[in-house]
Structure 1
């Protein structure tokens, strides 16, 4: 009798396991804002719209760009932790206000080009993932860039030092400290407010990627561009751990594999867009944007030196002091992962 009962229980368990694994998982997804341009339009949104088929998983995906949800980018980690949404395309600089550890991915001067940016992301993502799991019940699925963030101005400039006395739009405290160190006046502004602020003279200059600037029409209200890469504007995909744990280990592997492919694709696409948009903005032949006629300022050796020294002298010390207050091992974890590459 006992053997019969045990066999029945085991049999029921075996039959139930595949059924549980095949339950449809609903993914409520917040994507990048529509205003950010072609990566959101051509890579991210199509990925989520076809994720069920490409990953071969029982999914029901409801994808919404951030600027259609009423949620602010600085609230994304809170939204994930609460479970209001299951998966979010994280704007790393903006959410670093809630978790300063994240900003270690993108300190000013750390990643002036794509090669260094990818190396930093690969080496430091594990540190960020551990912290997000501990504090925000969120697993990091991947990190990707909008690309080097450069300077647009509505006043003639010949070098980085010419921002002295000018009001410069920034998007995080690390960048604000650097701008202040070279004599500029940092003004925090959301991306959607920059075009009007430039037009009205609220700011004299603003920093973003060439492609995003082109999509948002910044060259309509500026005259000069200095193609010096201050930061890589890294972003990432975070999934609520409760949602992640609804998948079997095999399904988790498939889902992670799909995001690995997306991230690799965006790294390559971002670099294509960066080069093409640089050409568009200064009136050279281009394919993906609108042609403008900005004056391209040549990056000087002095500009590069200021940026390189900025990691050791400004961005790392400023950031690590803040980060250690909420995460006592923050600076040591960063130095273990990245310190050797910048002489720390």
Structure 2
């Protein structure tokens, strides 16, 4: 069986329209031991395009599971939002078994489940390691909530790089952001843009390029992989890596579907999920931002490094967003926040 993703080095092939991780060996987790040869076929879904690292990771996960189960569990991956479900709908889509497995941006579903808003609080996370720390502290709480309220559990999580401003004009101070029409990806990033004097446009990824090309929006608050996926160099000029927020995705499975698996297959699926999480956080995440930024620069994007004064001003301008969220957050979110701050000593 043809295998994918063994190399740990990212190779970006934009002219071909896709991103390649390499090939990977078979899963090293538990092997199927049950007598039953019943087979299970699932639909796995991603709103992100083929070239995005989350879609590539989901396809690798499906491949590894199929190999590790001897073909007894097979997933057909639909990417690019091909089934019509929006990112904000994924909690309900998996709960209702419209798809059995799906990737979802936690920030996107914070409207339905406020606890996930913690993942995109402005300037709460300062680097990838802090994002991983938050993920580890919150994982059990997330799973408890998802299983009881939404009928699903997490198989693995994966990061996005930190978000910055992508614009048609150079951004040096907060005043430069006033009047911008900026695409945002969740409630928190929308509040950030409003606090900085811009107008937020919460558009799905599929609408971003056309909205930029027609002038419906003129800027984006997002990370480098989205810039590559949407070919920002064709419609924007500048990138200011301010590390405003960092979100993460979770791949979940419908709980009833999971519970129908024999115990040996359950163990394999969970084991492969652990392997994918390790790879996405330790091997893909840290390299991805630099790779994507370099590609944007090669295509013509001008990177403007923010001054310390600008970052401090952004932090102060968004202080109320963090405080208001914490005041109104559910108790489980407040506990995660407190545990995280204690863990990192801030």
Classify the TM-score, shorter chain.
0.7 to 0.9
By how many angstroms is 1:335 displaced?
A: 3.1
* In structure 1, C-alpha distance between the alignment counterparts of 2:275 and 2:175, rounded to whole Å: 40
- Determine if the alignment matches structure 1 residue 330 to structure 2 residue 328: no
Q: 1:265 to 1:179 in 2, by over 3 A?
A: same
In the other structure, the counterpart of 2:157 is: 143
Instruction: Provide the TM-score with structure 2 as the length reference.
Output: 0.82
- What's the CA shift string for 1:216-253, capped at 9, x where partnerless? 11121111110111222310011111112123444323
Cα offset for 1:59? Answer: 0.9
| Higher share in helix | 1
Q: Identify the residue that residue 9 of structure 2 maps to in structure 1.
A: none
Distance 1:304 1:320 in 2: 22
Q: Is the 8 A contact 1:159 1:298 kept in 2?
A: no
SS of 2:108's equivalent in the other structure is helix
Sort the Cα spacing of 1:123 and 1:224 in 2 relative to 1 into closer, same or farther, 3 A: same
Are the aligned partners of 1:49 and 1:63 in contact in 2 as well (CA < 8 Å)? no
- Residue from 92, 114, 117 that aligns with 1:103: 117
TM-score (ref. length: structure 1):
0.82
Q: Tell me, in whole angstroms, the C-alpha distance in 2 between the residues paired with 1:41 and 1:134.
A: 27
| CA displacement at 1:165 relative to structure 2 | 2.3
Instruction: Give 1:66 shift.
Output: 4.9
Q: CA deviation at 1:169?
A: 1.2
Partner of 1:315 in structure 2?
Answer: 321
8 Å Cα contact 2:118-2:337 kept in structure 1? no
CA RMSD of aligned residues (A): 2.4
Distance 1:56 1:201, change over 3 A: same
Give the alignment partner of residue 181 of structure 1, picking from 186, 190, 195.
195
* Aligned ranges 1:237-252 → 2 under 5 Å: 237-252=251-266
Provide the C-alpha distance between the structure 2 equivalents of 1:321 and 1:65, rounded to a whole number of angstroms: 37
With over 3 angstroms needed to count, the CA separation of the structure-2 counterparts of 1:310 and 1:331, relative to structure 1, is: farther
Q: State how 1:53-202 maps to structure 2 within 5 Å.
A: 53-56=67-70, 58-202=72-216
Q: What does residue 308 of structure 2 align with? A: 301
The answer as to 2:283 corresponding to 1:276 is no
The separation in 1 between residues aligned to 2:193 and 2:344, in whole angstroms, is: 20
C-alpha deviation, 1:259, in angstroms? 1.0
Q: Distance in 2 between matches of 1:250 and 1:310?
A: 52
Aligned in 2, Cα 1:342/1:204: closer, same or farther, shift over 3 Å?
Answer: farther
In the TM superposition, residue 336 of structure 1 has moved relative to its aligned partner by: 3.6
- Separation (CA, whole Å) in 1 of partners of 2:80 and 2:149: 22
Alpha carbons 1:320, 1:330 under 8 Å: kept: no
Q: Secondary structure at the match of 1:230?
A: coil
- Matched residue, 2:49: 34
Partners of 1:100 and 1:322 within 8 A in 2: no
> How many residues end up aligned between the 2 structures?
313
The change in CA–CA distance for 1:56 and 1:192 in structure 2 (over 3 A counts) is same
Deviation at 1:18, TM superposition (A): 4.0
Task: Tell me which structure has the larger Cα radius of gyration.
Answer: 1
Q: Is the 8 A contact 2:48 2:55 kept in 1?
A: no
Counterpart for residue 18 of structure 2: none
SS at match of 1:168: strand
Shift >6 Å, 4+ stretches: none
> CA, structure 1 residues 126+134, in 2 after alignment: closer, same or farther (shift >3 Å)?
same
